[in-house]
Amino acid sequence: MSTPPPRVYNPLTFVSERSGTDVEGSAPRSIAIDGPVAAGKSAVAVALAARLGYRFIDTGVMYRAVTWLALERGVDLDDEAALSRLAQDARLDVESSADAPKGSRVVIDGHDVTGELRSPEVGDAVSLVSRVAGVRTAMVERQREMAREGGVVMAGRDIGTVVLPDAPLKVYLDASVDERVRRRREELIAGGRAESDDEVREELALRDEIDSGRDISPLRPAGDAVVIDTDHLSLDEVVAKILEASCS
């Protein structure tokens, strides 16, 4: 998805991309965006938050930060009790930042780990850490605290179903496997990792299996979510569809 030109939406007045007319109405105080790996969640959420003047919260980086801390401290990734204690006790701050990868700056226990969260080691382990019930409980509690002030666009895999089930607007972004492989491979190449299509496809299949098959907070659309297939849409078009849905 291509980056759209800068444009700011007044949270009280949206502009319909299709009709070009003003649509009056109050913006939802919180917008939940879910979807699988490489469906476009972060890029869309960052652009949407910028246009609404809202705070962007990427819940995925929170799990990556806990994973980084576990690896740094040598915590056994099969020790669910130890991982749960780590997540509960960690001091974790996530802030929107236009200069940071995927729009979020992350500090955990005093360490700015923003540049470490996309490492192969963290990527290989994050699904194992994030499926631990105690880890998810700790992170969900913090995510809800962040959302209480309102004016947030929160992206993840269980936002509309678990974290913010009462969010006035829930969105589920999806894309075909081939498109997700293409996007993920481009992302890896940009980060200096050259992997084949087959390797990326295998990685996504494993992540999907873990995310959708876990007992706690499995990945699935909320019953009242707006489902958007992003395969043939630009970033601007996806954001426009969400803004349109927020007015209906």
- Per-residue pLDDT of 167-218, as tens digits, reads 999 999 999 999 999 999 998 888 788 888 999 999 999 989 988 988 888 9
Q: pLDDT averaged over the chain?
A: 87
- The 3 state secondary structure assigned to the chain is CCCCCCCCCECCEEECCCCCCEEECCCCCEEEEECCCCCCHHHHHHHHHHHHCCEEEEHHHHHHHHHHHHHHCCCCCCCHHHHHHHHHHCCEEEEECCCCHHHEEEEECCEECHHHCCCHHHHHHHHHHHCCHHHHHHHHHHHHHHHCCCCEEEEECCHHHHHCCCCCEEEEEECCHHHHHHHHHHHHHHCCCCCCHHHHHHHHHHHHHHHHHCCCCCCCCCCCCEEEECCCCCHHHHHHHHHHHHHC
Q: In this structure, what CATH number is given to the domain that contains residue 111?
A: 3.40.50.300
Residue 150 lies in a domain: yes
Total domain count, the chain: 1
Chain segment 91-108, per-residue pLDDT in tens: 999 987 777 777 788 999
Residue 105 lies in a domain: yes
Residue 5 lies in a domain: no
Residue 248 lies in a domain: no
Range of the domain at 182: 29-239
Residue 96 lies in a domain: yes
Residues of the chain with pLDDT below 70 are 1-27
Using a cut of 0.75, tell me whether the model's pTM lies above it. yes
Residue 6 lies in a domain: no
Residue 18 lies in a domain: no
Residue 86 lies in a domain: yes
| pLDDT score, position 8 | 33
